[in-house]
Structure 1
């Protein structure tokens, strides 16, 4: 089962793409840090200092300024995430995040999908704040307890 989240960002696709793949930029809206630039075939370590957490993602596919596909989760049992950048005119980009791998027979499926949607909407809101308004203080604000 898949979960799709979309948001319009008032920036061209190349700026949105760089915000994700550049380890100097990702800390302004999503993770605290990224171990390296996101490139196809690499395994990248992402850290959340606020939550004392880190995890690895495997970059499956990169199409510059258009698409990023990665897998995250434990032992190859994780979900596949596809971030698609669709230009809408010269200065707008529709960012689509599709996460797949949710198990339909899981008793907690609805809770997982709602939690997942909340996370992606929050991340995209932080991305919008960073790219459109140069606000980089939002990312650590999601409270999950």
Structure 2
């Protein structure tokens, strides 16, 4: 059975504001990619760097609806590098809020693939919580949360 997951969260803000909080590097670096920042906006065909060095290859951006990108998976020493595919969907709700769904897939069906999928599922769940806190209350939940934030190393950097 392939390793893949889907997480979602309701953000009490209009879809345009929530979408911008992901594609706009100034916003995303305030609550998620806080260490090292982002090299540019998420635009179809672009490769941007998160945390100052993790390449994110943007495949599709549909304004206020969907973002698709690929990035390097965590690999064990000696394992061949590969990428996973992330799809973020933004649904405007009747009450003016936005439902954000993040799905990721592409891990091999082995122990390292399972571990990588679990780590990323945790990371995207935290990203949604951080986005909610940032957009609804102006709070950066990641500041000082991870030891990596204190050590100067990115939290979600794939291992070489």
Answer yes or no: same fold by TM over 0.5.
Answer: yes
Contact 2:21 2:28 in 1 (8 A): yes
Please tell me whether residue 55 in structure 1 is matched to residue 54 in structure 2: yes
Query: Per-residue CA shift, 1:30-51, capped at 9, x if unaligned?
Result: 1121111111000101116xxx
CA distance in 2, matches of 1:139, 1:16: 20
Please tell me whether residue 39 in structure 1 is matched to residue 50 in structure 2: no
Query: Per-residue CA shift, 1:70-98, capped at 9, x if unaligned?
Result: 00006972100000001112521110000
Query: Per-residue CA shift, 1:14-35, capped at 9, x if unaligned?
Result: 1011001111111111112111
Give SS of 1:7's match: strand
Give SS of 2:27's match: helix
RMSD: 2.2
Q: Aligned residues, how many?
A: 139
CA distance in 1, matches of 2:48, 2:126: 22
Contact 2:107 2:114 in 1 (8 A): no
CA distance in 2, matches of 1:47, 1:7: 23
Gaps of 5+ in 1: 49-53
**How far off its partner does 1:109 sit?**
4.0
Gaps of 5+ in 2: 74-79, 149-160
Match for 2:124 among 120, 127, 140? 120
Give SS of 2:107's match: coil
Query: Per-residue CA shift, 1:45-73, capped at 9, x if unaligned?
Result: 1116xxxxx20111100000000000000
Inter-CA distance 29–68: structure 2 relative to 1 (3 Å threshold): same
Partner residue of 1:24?
A: 26
Partner residue of 2:154?
A: none
Inter-CA distance 115–44: structure 2 relative to 1 (3 Å threshold): same
**How far off its partner does 1:121 sit?**
0.8
**How far off its partner does 1:115 sit?**
1.8
Query: Per-residue CA shift, 1:81-133, capped at 9, x if unaligned?
Result: 000001112521110000010212x1234433322221111111000000011
